[in-house]
Amino acid sequence: MKKGGILLAATGWDSALWSRMFTDAAPGRQVFVDPDGRTDDSVDYAIVWKQPAGSLAGLKNLKVIFSLGAGVDHVFRDPLVPDVPIVRVVSNDLTNRMSEYVVWQVLDHHRMGPKYRRQQQDAIWLEDRSQPAAKDITIGMLGLGVLGSDAAMKLKVMGFNVTGWSRSHHHLDGIPTFHGQEQMPAFLAGVDMLVCLLPLTPATANMLAMPMFEMMTKRGPLGAPVLINAGRGGLQNEKDILAALDIGTLSAVSLDVFQQEPLPVDSPFWSHPKVTLTPHAAAASDPFSLVKPIVDQMDAFDRGEPLRNLVDRKHQY
């Protein structure tokens, strides 16, 4: 039986590399790189990252959309996205990369990396041994999906006190968890460092804002809380973050994502002394670990087997 084709619609990615990898991994399937989409029945599966609006609308045979990212808000930005199952990436490689980023940023704030870098720049030797112990710092993980759970467990192994919040109830061994809007204040009240790995959905947009920052503890060893966002820029109110840093409601932030990417050259975040920023690089999607599992899912679906890692359309994640 002839195998259905693949359309790759990945804006801003190395399409030549990805299409070569899919061609090699999926013998018998045609791979199209067609930014405007197609209007025939040659494509069964679309592989997307920020697909151009409408580019999937003419695919008469489309069966499944595979997102190349763990977050799928980019898929829903297209008002003409067809009503077929959407599968997100879940891979140990991506999960490990994200946890590395989170542990790196948490440790950097915990061990006062920004302060020591400033002192080094000014050649200042100041013997300051007032480092708080990990056990005295509470890290609050916002979002307890695959990524948030893994990062939370790894921080716990480091000796931090870790708590978690998610929309619906999640159980994590040894980690107190909170859920739903009603439990948000109780969760935030004990948090010294807030790590956000939430999906961006209509329900979470702009939630990292002043009312939340004001609910976090200021009694902890860091003085004022730290925010680390490696989810999506759309989750954060950037004016509020800057104001909170300036008035001391937040002591520092690490941001991997921004409302507008690339971050405009005149953004105040670039040079703010309390900001550590990275260019949406916390957890890259690596073709060498992602392509084969996606192709395996296509073959399994062709055989009538169920899809894994399906996105819930209602909640958009």
Q: How far is the CB of 71 from ligand GLV (least distance, A)?
A: 3
Name the active-site residue from 77, 280, 303, 315.
280
**In angstroms, what CA-CA distances link 132 with 127, 129, 160, 192, 223?**
15, 9, 11, 12, 11
- If 0-12 CB within 10 Å is exposed, 13-18 middle and 19+ buried, where does residue 134 land? middle
Q: How far is the CB of 97 from ligand GLV (least distance, A)?
A: 9
Q: Which helix (H) or strand (E) holds 138?
A: strand 138-142
Rg of the chain, C-alpha, whole Å: 21
**224/311 with CB nearer ligand GLV:** 311
**In angstroms, what CA-CA distances link 78 with 56, 188, 232?**
9, 34, 17
Q: Which helix (H) or strand (E) holds 93?
A: helix 92-110
How far apart, in whole angstroms, are the C-alpha atoms of residue 68 and residue 284? 10
**161/229 with CB nearer ligand GLV:** 229
- Residue 276-295 contact track with ligand GLV, rule CB under 6 A, x = bound: -------x-x----------
- Residue 227-266 contact track with ligand GLV, rule CB under 6 A, x = bound: ----------------------------------------
User: How many residues interact with ligand GLV (rule CB under 6 A)?
Assistant: 5
Is 74 one of the catalytic residues? no
Is 118 one of the catalytic residues? no
How far apart, in whole angstroms, are the C-alpha atoms of residue 291 and residue 66? 11
How far apart, in whole angstroms, are the C-alpha atoms of residue 202 and residue 130? 42
Q: Is 199 in the site for ligand GLV (CB under 6 A)?
A: no
- Retrieve residue 113's tokens: 């990396």
Q: How far is the CB of 283 from ligand GLV (least distance, A)?
A: 6
* DSSP reduced 3-state for 292: helix
**90/210 with CB nearer ligand GLV:** 90
Cβ(74)–Cβ(36) below 8 Å: no
* DSSP reduced 3-state for 14: coil
**71/140 with CB nearer ligand GLV:** 71
Q: Across-strand partners of 142?
A: 165, 196
- Retrieve residue 182's tokens: 């009603």
- Residue 68-97 contact track with ligand GLV, rule CB under 6 A, x = bound: -xxx--------------------------
Site for ligand GLV in 44-73 (CB under 6 A): 69-71
Q: How far is the CB of 185 from ligand GLV (least distance, A)?
A: 29
**99/138 with CB nearer ligand GLV:** 99
**50/170 with CB nearer ligand GLV:** 50
Position of minimal CB gap to ligand GLV = 69
* DSSP reduced 3-state for 275: strand
Name the active-site residue from 20, 97, 232, 313.
232
By annotation, the residues acting in catalysis are: 232, 280
Residues in contact with ligand GLV by CB under 6 A are 69-71, 283, 285
